[in-house]
Amino acid sequence: MKAGEARRALCHAVFILLLCVGVFVVLRERVAEVSLENFSPFHNTSPCACGKCLSEDDVWFTQRFNKSVEPFLSAKHSLSEAAFRWWKVTSLTFSPYVIHATVDNLFKTFPATPDVEASSDRCRTCAVVGNSGNLNGSPTPLDTHCKFPPLMNTGRTKGYEADVGKRTTHHVMYPESAVDLDNTTHLVLVPFKIQDLEWLIKAFTTGFSGASYMPVKSHIKANKDLVMVVNPAFMRYVHDTWLEKKGRYPSTGFMALVLALHICDEVSVFGYGADKDGNWSHYFEILKNKHLRTGPHAGTHEYDVIQQLHKNQIIHFFKGW
């Protein structure tokens, strides 16, 4: 095979299940093969092996996209003071010592460094699928993406395979929406408060007995080696830079989309936003409250940003209606 010619080497799916808008990411990788005899230091200066990479040639996008922000917590990067102050207000937590001690304990149980680095010899394509009612009757056969079905928080696949697919590889949740997972699915935690990190540790070990605004699972069944925790600094970056501080904090769905922009090279988006009548509903339920909106999230502004990303050809957005 000639230098620079891409072949499909790996196909794995990333399903992200979300609050208000459920999301899964279908991820496919192509890895370029390079022969040493034809190698040149000038051969490939592009950040990815796709025909076009997300970070190229768009001023509006590059003004918002900051690749230096770590998407996930890891043992290598501590929480900055600025991110701590933002999270303190959001999570009503006031002790930096407690936060740093909890993060240290986190990586005694779970992987210290998630593998999400970019590569110039890889083309990673993702389908980010929300659980909006717009997903019903999706014209695109999502399973052809080598994908994962949309389950966010309590999103469902059984009975909805034609719309959301059959497989789940990454499931995004927080304690109040937690569900048991199989041994091959990644648990992706969005920590809205310090107690969420404490819950994650104890739910896998001694059992959690704390209180919240609704009942939470004391134990969870999942593969501890496939746990990933979204970085509060990333949550702040999404709120401040992408949403211009609108809303109290980003929806889980919008954070998942920006997360995909950071770990994928090509992104397609399904199942987001209100329906054609302006109602915010889920694909798996009959809408009873037609006045239901997006609560503390700037839902309309988030949707406008998604449409701008599509207009600028950064993503491919399929409305569903």
Catalytic positions, written as ranges: 249, 297
Rounded distance between C-alpha atoms, residue 145 and residue 89, angstroms: 40
Residue whose structure tokens are 């999230």:
297
Rounded distance between C-alpha atoms, residue 19 and residue 249, angstroms: 12
Residue 314 has what DSSP assignment? S
Q: Please provide the distance, in angstroms rounded to a whole number, between the alpha carbons at the two ends of the chain.
A: 43
Rounded distance between C-alpha atoms, residue 43 and residue 29, angstroms: 20
Rounded distance between C-alpha atoms, residue 89 and residue 98, angstroms: 15
- Spatial neighbors of 225 by CB under 8 A, at least 6 apart, are 110, 111
Q: Are 253 and 269 in contact (CB under 8 A)?
A: no
Alpha carbon dihedral 138, 141, 143, 147, in 10-degree steps, equals -60
Cα 106 to the center of its chain, rounded Å: 20
Q: Are 78 and 87 in contact (CB under 8 A)?
A: no
- 3-state helix, strand and coil shares in percent for the chain, rounded to the nearest 5: 30, 15, 55
Rounded distance between C-alpha atoms, residue 136 and residue 164, angstroms: 8
Q: Report residue 19 as tokens.
A: 């609050």
Q: Are 174 and 191 in contact (CB under 8 A)?
A: yes
Cα 217 to the center of its chain, rounded Å: 22
Rg (CA), the chain: 19
